[in-house]
Structure 1
Amino acid sequence: METLFNKRLQVYVKCKDCEERKANLRVNIDLRVTSNPVYKRDLVVRLTDDLDPYFLYSLSISEEDYQSLKVQQGLLIDFASFPQKFIDLLLRCLSEQELDSPRFLLHLACQSSLHDGAAHFSVVETNAFKHLNHLSLKLLQGSDKEVKDYLATCLSSLKEDKQSLEVKLKKTEEDLSRQLTYAQQTLTEKTKELDKLRSEWTSQSTSLSSRHSQDLMSEREKALEIQSRLQQQVEQVRQELESTHLRSSQQLQSRLAELEVSTRDLTERRYKNESTIRDLKIKLSSAEEESQRAKQQVSSLRRENSTLDTELHNKERLVGQLQTRLAVLEQEVNDKEQLMGRTREVLEATQQQKETMEGNVESKDHHIKKLESKVKSLSEELIKANGIIKKLQADLRGLAEKIQVKNRVTVSQEKVVQDTSAKLHTASRHLQDAQQQLTHKDEQVSKLKEQLETTIQKLNESKEVLKTNENVIGWLNKQLNEKQLLKKPPPPESFQTPAALPTTAGLRAQFYPMPSVKLGLSPAEATDFLPTDQRTLPLPPPLKLGEPSGLDSKYFERREDSIPLTGLLSNLQSREFPPRPSKHSLPSAYFSA
């Protein structure tokens, strides 16, 4: 058996004494192929409810049944393409069941209650004009035996699934416990390494902050000394700076341009450092998403980076202060032209200070590169941890695929059980039909026995009637022969020989059919036809009611072995019979008039 469709669909259920309601029912369509003794294909449609285990409606459609269904509902497709078209309609209903006004709907109409009798399962298309019924199938409710078999198969499959899942869960728990122990060991090692890195960072940050504070103090002292010297030397250098004012101004402008270029380079480097720090932050955020414990470590690194940023901002502030000082010096040069010569020395000192600052910045850049290398090593370790997690996910996927394979095996077994249950159902139907036929035949046999008894009774009665008729005929023939032999010849007036009788051949008695009225004569009337000397003889009893009136037709036919009247030939040719008494002028039943 091949499963073609197995999904839950929204069905509008309507019973006789209940209101219409929506229900999610599972529609299962299977194609059953049998090749022993004849190749047959049957389409099995089954409706079940996952919430109600006693809800079971099924229908088996063979190719012969489909032909009648095709004629009844006006279908245009063959049996080979019917399952796919039916599945297409169900998929259309499934795609539109979430809409507010779906076009295709499924209806289940029951003539009685939902758990009693048959139901009509139909696919209906709704439009503004009318409801179009594309297909309607009459599903039969499962009997108690079918429901029990269905529940037994469900329970057996669930037990097997439970056992297999328990074994799989034990295996997966063992594997995951091993992997967790390994991951915990790796995490402890990494936490130790991170603690070491934190301690190193804290020591370096404290050393850097102490150095910066010392440098700032020394620079402040130097600036104060320079200011004192300048104030002392301003009065002495006024006269010397008048001649060199123009040259010094040009040189200062060129120097200022060079300083601007250097400041631009420094700002570009700062932006590059900021971009690298941002990249590091992005990498650290991705590492935070992969492992929750690494978030805290990355946050500590961000704090350390923020401290470095604050240090860089402080240095930038120092550079700004120096620039402001240069502007003040320019104003003083404009105001006091004599101080320009000494300002050269001040500028050279400031250049030296800048060179020392650049050296410090390069050392800090080198230190940042070291930090970047350490972060890269951390990212590589995180990538390795991700690889381990991916391997675990691949193992879980493999286990899920194995579970799916076992589910398919259980579904195939369910199909086999369903086939056997369907065969048993058909066999029970055949047995019921055979029992009905046997009862019908028994009734026919009893009727035939009664008819045989009646016919036997009639035959017995007819045999008795025939015996009585034969006795009467024999007695009459005997009396007639004796009378004809003993009596005198009658006169020729009352009886003449017929002209058609030949004289050379012997006479034979002719019997003609007697009217049915003559058989019902009374004994007194019957004695009138007899001679006077034999009227005292007893006659045969009259016929009873219900017996066949008249003699059998075989006694009225002309026979070759009839009784010859040889003793009367000579008398009939020369004489006539004496006249009969004229009391009754009825014709004879055995001789023609």
Structure 2
Amino acid sequence: MEELFNKVLQVNLRCRDCEERKTNVRVTIELQVTTSPVHKRDLLVRITDDIDPYFLFNLAISEEDFQSLKVQQGLLIDFASFPQKFIDLLNLCISEQTSESPRFLLHLSCQSPVLEGPANFSVIETNAFKHLNHLSLRLSQASDKEVKDYLAVCLSSLKAEKHVLEMKLKTTEDDLTRQLNYAQQTLSEKTKELDKLRSEWTTQTSSLSSLHSQELQLERDKALELQTRLQQQTEQLRQELESAHKKSSHQLNSRLTELEASCRELTEKKYKNESAIRDLKIKLVGADEECQHLKQQVLSLRRENSTLDTEVHEKDRLVSQMQMRVAVLEQEVKDKDQLMNRTKEVLEATQQQKESVEENAESKELQIRKLEATVKSLSEELIKANGIIKKLQGEVRTLVGKIKVKNTVTVSQEKILQETSEKLQSVERDLQSAQQQLITKEEQISKLKEQLEATVQKLNETKEVLKTNENVINWLNKQLNEKQLSRKAQGLESLENPAVSTTTAGLGFYPQTAKPVVSPMAAAGISLTDEHLGKSSNRQIGDSAGLDSKYFEKRDDCISIYGLSSNPRQREFPQSTKPSIASAYFSA
């Protein structure tokens, strides 16, 4: 099952005794190929509504149904190109949906007041003059079982999509939580360092203040007497301690600013990581687009495979035609046997009528004149038959030429298939990074190769069947030639019989009412010995009957004439000849 089209379209809905309204439906087109027991392709058209799950209309179009549809609606395309043309019409309708006055419209009409039973799905082109109906398909409403199957398939596909989305969401959440934990961990480490520095700063200040107070107390104790001098020294010491205190506080403040800057850098890194995640998502979307492009290439290869299938069907049709031709040749052989039996009966009748012919010798001259007229008509008919034989030979040559042309076309198509397989291999080398996502595509390509090998095997089998048919035709031609030789030999024996030759002066010829059915190969395969025997037999008949020898000369482009009776009694019972069977390969 191959899905060719699946989109939501705007449709004008018409029901009986109801106003026309617009609604959105989903149109799905699928191609189903079955190989067992017979290679068969069906086009499945399904109309559904995403809002109403019970809205379902189906249509299955096989190759036989398409032929009747093609005749009814006057289509000019074949079944292989029909799906793509139908999809092109639907795309035109999609492009015209947003315009105020669309050119291409879709109509879904039903004869019942409620949308039930069969419905007509039509693609209509509107212009200033009239509405042109490009295509009309009669869809049938789905049964309860089909609706249940469709809902089950939809539920399974939704579950699969949900599972895939949950997996993607889980992976993204894991990545983000891992990155967030790392950022929080680094932030806690930095805050710990900051607290440690602050505690060190407080301890240093407290130690310095305690030392300063102790020194002051000592100096006060020692400098009771030298207070003035010590006051100066204490002031100097105080100034020095204040400067040192200021320096240490300044250093701590600078360290604090550095830690705040590092915290800002960490936040900036966090934002950069988020932007990198967005870029990776964009790259993932690009990879999906490349995957869609590869899907389109696979679809084009499948279309080429479908064209090859049509050519194989044509070859099968040629094989069936050759089999029909063999059947026609077998029927011709049977007709020849019947003619031989009838000629034997005619010879027996002539022997029985010898006595009556001797009594009617006075009417010989009148009969001879009538015989000359009949011989002339027979010669004209034989010339026409030889012309038909030449035409049939020309048709056989043209058929052989067409078969050679088709063989060259198949060879060129095999070369094209080899080139496409090389291109696919190069694409696989370029997409090594996306091999995990394209495993399913590689399996489809391998299936296509197997189908191509199967088609090549079928072509070889058809060639072998054609060779066997040619051998059968040659064998039948040989059998026909042998029967003609035996028939001519029997005619010579009857002419050379002395009992017959004494009374052949009163014999005539029956006019041949039906054209002999002779195959072109059998007519072309007459040997020189047959011509020599025919000339000798004609010469004996002419001498015995007293006719002019020009009516019995054996021509190179005509068929031999058999002796027929000219007795009036014999004319009352004309020879019943079987009409030639019309053939599908040889024109009458």
TM-score range relative to shorter protein: 0.3 to 0.5
Greater C-alpha Rg: 1
Provide TM-score, normalisation by structure 1.
0.35
